[in-house]
Amino acid sequence: MAEYKKEKCKLLIVMGCLVQRYYDDLIKLLPEVDLFIKIDEYTSFWDKIESALSGTITTKKTHQQWQQIPLPNLDEFLDRVVTTGDKFAYLKIGEGCSNFCTYCAIPYIRGAFVSRKEEDIIKEAKMLAKKGIEEIIVIAQDTTKYGVDLYGESKLAELLHKISQIKGIRWIRFLYSYPEGITDELIEEVKNNPKIVKYFDIPIQHISNTVLKRMNRKTSKENITILLDKIRKQIPEVILRTSLIVGFPGETEKQFEELLQFITKAEFDKLGAFMYSKEEGTPAAKMPNQIHGNTKKSRFNKLMAKQQEISYKKLQQKVGKTYETLIESISFDRKYLIGRTINDVPEIDGLIYIPINTKNDQTKLINTFVKCEIVQVNDYDYIGKIICNHKNKK
């Protein structure tokens, strides 16, 4: 980008979490950058750019690492550019995190959880719908905390309901929901609202109570088990996704085996795993009994091999069933339309590949919703055939 700047643009600007955390280091390491903008400076974004263009910036403010971050005012609705295509967009409902898991630096970088005002979120959702966005993906570090700071209790279920009343929105998802924050009200809203996808992304991270305690997680194996059973009983067709950490400091072979046995029994539809890595300044980085890299890799491989088996088994059960599908692109060889079923989150979950009928110009179906029958599966993706074209009806 620095080379690109020499001929194509006037300023090279770096902004975000890295700047917030390593401001002093970056201004020394990257002298070719004209302007660094920290998280708490977003509201003065244009002022800083204008100053940089006019050459009036002469000094760079120092930064105290790990300070309490005064976040920008999230109450004010700001227009935005949608960079995720024509049909789906992410809708952030809060900033920061107050959970302070011992392995995570986000609270130190982005501050405590701060909810956006409901009216501001609804205004943005309406704006997105007017632009033709039909899939809204509600996001925050922990969506179940939405509203607690503003209204004294979680308002996620209520917010999702109000978003569903906006004309033009077809699918609503929410990521990520911590297990201890999933209420009966939220489960009921997902169950009964036809626009809310029957999908819960619940990052449990581990299942051993000992490990969960060291992680400073606010739940237990028993509560997680009860929650998963409750959701599946209330919503039999639900898709459950989770994320896990292997090799957390002090994790014994027995505790890892407990985790492996749990996912074998729980059979999550979707699962992602990470090998623990130290985050500077977090409590876990200083914990004793750090796990050797080879051990972490071995445990990760075992876990993902087991999940691969589970995923294939779960997907096989979908062969012959029909799902609403968003067609998003075409393969490089132009032999397949590529899309996502209602069960799949973009960039995270699997895809559906639909052989193109050469007798018809099926490229016209890109960015439309269709009904697809699953005819074949592999470990994570589908092969399907179109049985009905909605012609983009709302």
CB 214 within 8 A of CB 248: yes
**Letter string b/e over residues 131-151, b meaning 16 or more CB atoms within 10 A of that residue's CB:** eebbbbbbbbbbbbbbbbeee
CATH class name, domain 88-316: alpha beta
Residue 307, amino acid: Q
Q: Is the peptide bond before 176 cis (omega within 30 degrees of 0)?
A: yes
Looking at domain 322-389, what is its CATH homologous superfamily? Nucleic acid-binding proteins (2.40.50.140)
**In this predicted structure, what is the pLDDT of residue 68?**
43
pLDDT, residue 390, reads: 60
Q: Specify the pLDDT at position 66.
A: 37
Q: How far apart are the C-alpha atoms of 273 and 297, rounded to whole Å? A: 11
User: Which pair of tokens denotes residue 268?
Assistant: 């999550």
What's the chain look like in SS3? CHHHHHHHCCCCEEECHHHHHHHHHHHHHCCCCCEEECHHHHHHHHHHHHHHHHCCCCCCCCCCCCCCCCCCCCCCCCCCCCCCCCCEEEEECEECCCCCCCCCCHHHHHCCCEECCHHHHHHHHHHHHHCCCCEEEEECCCHHHCCHHHHCCCCHHHHHHHHHCCCCCCEEEEECCCHHHCCHHHHHHHHHCCCECCEEECCCECCCHHHHHHCCCCCCHHHHHHHHHHHHHHCCCCEEEEEEEECCCCCCHHHHHHHHHHHHHHCCCEEEEEECCCCCCCHHHHCCCCCCHHHHHHHHHHHHHHHHHHHHHHHHCCCCCEEEEEEEEECCCCCEEEEEECCCCCCCCCCEEEECCCCCCHHHHCCCEEEEEEEEECCCCEEEEEEEECCCCC
The sign of the dihedral angle between the CA atoms of 6, 8, 11, 17 is negative
Q: Which residues pair with 384 in a beta bridge?
A: 374
Locate 261 and state its tokens: 């046995």
- Which residues pair with residue 336 across a beta bridge? 355
Quick one: pLDDT at residue 13?
Answer: 92
Q: How far apart are CA 190 and CA 174, in angstroms?
A: 10
pLDDT at 56: 64
User: Residue 162's closest CA among 189, 201, 137, 202?
Assistant: 189
Q: Identify residue 30 by its one-letter amino acid code.
A: L
Give the pLDDT confidence of 41-93 residue by residue, as tens digits: 877 888 888 888 887 654 444 443 334 444 455 445 567 788 999 999 999 99
Q: What is the pLDDT of residues 130-175, one digit of tens each?
A: 999 999 999 999 999 999 999 999 999 999 999 999 999 999 999 9
Asked whether the beta carbons of 113 and 145 are under 8 A apart, the reply is: yes
Q: Contact at 8 Å (CB) between 177 and 186? A: yes
How far apart (Å, rounded) are the C-alpha atoms in residues 181 and 121?
20
What are 298's two structure tokens? 């071995």
Q: What is the per-residue pLDDT for 63?
A: 40
Interior angle at CA 143, CA 371 and CA 79, nearest 5: 80
Main-chain dihedrals φ then ψ at residue 245, nearest 5 degrees:
-120, 125
How long, in residues, is the chain? 394
Q: In the chain, where does the domain assigned CATH 2.40.50.140 lie?
A: 322-389
- pLDDT attached to residue 69: 47
Residue pLDDT tens, the chain, 394 long = 888 888 878 889 999 888 988 999 999 999 999 999 988 787 788 888 888 888 765 444 444 333 444 445 544 556 778 899 999 999 999 999 999 999 999 998 888 999 999 999 999 999 999 999 999 999 999 999 999 999 999 999 999 999 999 999 999 999 999 999 999 999 999 999 999 999 999 999 999 999 999 999 999 999 999 999 999 999 999 999 999 999 999 999 999 999 999 999 999 999 999 999 999 999 999 999 999 999 999 999 999 999 999 999 999 999 999 999 999 999 999 899 999 999 999 999 999 999 997 767 678 899 999 999 999 999 999 999 999 776 544 4
36 neighbors 45 (Cβ within 8 angstroms) = no
For CATH 3.80.30.20, list the domain ranges present in the chain. Answer: 88-316
